[in-house]
Amino acid sequence: MKYLHTMVRVTDLEASVKFYELLGLTEMRRFDNEKGRFTLVFFAAPDDEGRSSAERAPEVELTYNWDPEEYTGGRNFGHLAYVVDDIYAACQRLMDGGVTINRPPRDGHMAFIRSPDNISVELLQKGERLPPAEPWASMPNTGVW
């Protein structure tokens, strides 16, 4: 048995693709199904691109249904998690791109953000936690994650 992907339904494909690219993921492939009226977009983390190309895993699959639907329960899903080389730099890049940092990396180790479709994404510092630094150390939580 091996892990393949996590599927996330999205309501705004353009906004979601921008979010996952800003997060640092790479679009690996895209499939439009006119008969089924949906688009699938597969993303991989940079360190997983080789495996994604060869095995189509591990990936995040965005599913965009062309006919409008309302999705609920993003919080019930739980979250996606990625390790990053520098959590402060990652959070700054995301903030500069318009993403709200819901749970700032006050501890130099963990942060949470949400996608345009309210999917929680956990960011974890690779290796040892970084020393506390501003503005993160005193930044309050925003919303839920």
pLDDT at 75: 53
DSSP H or E stretch at residue 33 = strand 26-33
Q: Which residues contact 80 (CB under 8 A, 6 or more apart)?
A: 6, 8, 60, 119, 120, 121, 122
> Domain spanning 81-138 has what CATH number?
3.10.180.10
pLDDT at 13: 97
Active-site annotation holder among 14, 61, 70, 122? 122
Tokens of 64: 């965009």
pLDDT at 27: 98
61 is catalytic: no
What DSSP character marks residue 136?
A: G
Looking at domain 5-65, does it have CATH number 3.40.50.2300? no
Q: In the chain, list all ranges with CATH 3.10.180.10.
A: 5-65, 81-138
Q: ω into residue 116 within 30 of 0, thus cis?
A: no
- pTM higher than 0.85: no
Mean pLDDT in runs of 10 for the chain (145 residues)? 86 96 97 95 97 95 91 70 95 97 96 92 94 96 88
Q: Is 55 left (phi over 0), alpha (psi -120 to 50) or beta?
A: alpha
Q: ω into residue 58 within 30 of 0, thus cis?
A: yes
> 39 near 64, Cβ under 8 Å?
yes
